[in-house]
Amino acid sequence: MNDLNNLKDLIERATPILRELRRACAGRALFDACDDDMASALASHDPESIIDDMGDGEWCVSTPEFRVFSRTQPERSK
């Protein structure tokens, strides 16, 4: 299992790369995943991320660069 801080670090490093790819290709550069820990890390890392209840016990945390699905409700760090 990945440490939450390691996942936050990976998100922080990947975000500018995905932004540049999106600008360069004039389209979507989106990291799409299903991972409970990564969803929590994204919600904690980016206070502007959107946490959606998808129903049936599934959640989605999204930013312009990331969309991560989770089976547990992600919470932001305090």
Summarised one tens digit per residue, pLDDT across range 21-43 is 888 887 777 889 999 999 999 99
3-state secondary structure of 45: helix
Q: Name the residue among 28, 56, 31, 19 with its Cα closest to residue 39.
A: 31
Which residues, 6 or more positions from 45, have their beta carbon under 8 angstroms from its beta carbon?
Answer: 8, 11, 12
pLDDT at 2 over 80: no
pLDDT of 51 reads: 96
The reported pTM is: 0.81
pLDDT of 73 reads: 93
Judging by beta carbons within 10 Å of its beta carbon (0-12, 13-18, 19+), is residue 51 exposed, middle or buried?
Answer: middle
pLDDT of 75 reads: 83
Instruction: Say how many CA atoms lie within 13 Å of 14 toward its Cβ.
Output: 18
pLDDT at 49 over 70: yes
